Structure formats: C-alpha cells, structure tokens
Amino acid sequence: MIEAVVFDLDGTLLNTLDDIRDVVNGVLRLNGMSEKSTDEVKSAVGRGVEELVRKLIPADRAAADFIVTISDQIRTTYLEESTVKTRPYPGIPELLNSLKEMGMPMAVLTNKPQDSADRAVNHYFNDIPFLAVSGVSHGGPMKPSIEAVIPVLEKLGTLSENTMMVGDSDIDMDTAVNAGMLAAGVSWGFRDVTLLKNHGAHHIINHPKEIIELLGSGLTSEHFVCLLI
C-alpha cells in the first residue's frame, strides 16, 4: 500500500515559470546579456541554478566563476521576487487538503534552493503539514541522487516501495526509479509526457484528483509495476 507521497515543487505543485523567467531575464540584462524566451527558460530548469545558467548564457561567458556569480544573483533576486506570478496549479490545493484529511504523510523534494523552497511552501501551503521540505543547500545532494531521497524517507517514516513520487520531469522519474519509489508523472508541468514515460513513469496523472483515486484503489507496488500507460 502507498503510505506516503513525495511531491516535486516547480511544475508539479506550483506554476513558477513566469517568475523564474522574469528573474533570470532581469539578471541577464543586468550583466549585458540578451533575454531568454519562456520556452528557453522552461527547458533549462530542473537541475539546479548553476545548470540553468550554463544552459542560458553564451558559451564564451561560461567561465566557472562567472557562472557562480550569475547563479548567486539569481538566487538572491528570486528569493525576493518569487511570489509575483507564481500560483498553485488548478486542483492542487484541493488535493493537498484531501491528503491532509486522510492523514497521508507528505513531503516536498525539489532541486530549488532550500531558502526558496521554504518560502514557497510557507507562502502557498502554510496549512499543509509537510513532514519535510527538502531543497538544495550549498554542496548538498540533488535529485536524481538517492542521497537526496533518504533524509525525506526517514522523516516520512516509510519505505521507498511504499512511497509515491509525484513530479513533472525526467529528473523526478529518475529519482523515483533510483530510490525504488513509485513514479507518478504529471501532464501539466514543464516536461512532455513521452519524456516522463521514457524515464520510468509508472503512471501519468492528468488531474490532481487522480492521485486520490489511485490511493483509494488500494494501489500496491505490484500493481504499479503492472500498470499499462
């Protein structure tokens, strides 16, 4: 039986793309670089700020120290301006409240900086009793490493095979597969459904209420492995 649910944050619980784009473009302008489109920023998010910067800045400016400088500027600015356009996806507040009423243990696992993750969860979901909100600290492990998952599972008090990972990216699906969790990909986020399937998604969720339906069906790890998608 599924005993706990771990959620990704950006692209899964929150549509953060417009705020990320605006912050990134503000920093790029400040440093004499051209702005990026929403799609360009969308394709670059998910593997931490430094990787986002590497994908977006010109190759001739991609020296290691410059990447650190730009990344730090993005972190600082985003922490101040991250709740301007960001909103929960439709159905997410209702889903989280239903899981809360069920007494389902929940956690957030994201490659967002820890300070920004804490702020986002406190701002948008302050009444949801997440047992862990795990972002990235300097030098700490990131998804899809299993080292990023272990502390979250410990706080949830569940085994990986009894835990559902809900996310919108290949990184989330890789994380679930690496840790032996049940991988549920969402169709409303930042990545294509085909990519999620190719990275091991056991099931595709098209609306948040379907998560409640899955949990109510008495889903087990054996059922999950056998799902046809």
pLDDT in tens, 133-152: 999 998 789 999 999 999 99
Q: Which amino acid is at 20?
A: I
Whether 4-15+86-226 and 17-81 share one fold: the answer is: no
* Predicted confidence (pLDDT) per residue in 177-218, tens digit: 999 999 999 999 999 999 999 999 999 999 999 999 888 765
* CB burial readout 160-179, b (16+ within 10 A) else e: bebbbbbbbbbbbbbbbbbb
Residue 227 confidence class, pLDDT cut points 50, 70, 90: very low
The beta strand positions in the chain, using DSSP E, are: 4-7, 14-15, 87-88, 106-113, 132-136, 163-167, 182-186, 203-205
Residue 50 half-sphere exposure toward CB, CA atoms < 13 A: 12
Residue 74's pLDDT is 96
Mode of pairing for the β-strands spanning 182-186 and 163-167: parallel
At a CB cut-off of 8 Å and minimum separation 6, what does 139 contact? Answer: none
The conformation of residue 105, written as its DSSP 8-state character, comes to -
Tens digit of pLDDT for each residue in 53-112?
999 999 988 899 999 999 999 999 999 999 999 999 999 999 999 999 999 999 999 999
CATH topology of domain 4-15+86-226: Rossmann fold (3.40.50)
Q: Which CATH number fits domain 17-81: 1.10.150, 1.25.40, 1.10.405, 1.10.10?
A: 1.10.150
The catalytic residues are 8
Domain boundaries, the chain: 4-15+86-226, 17-81
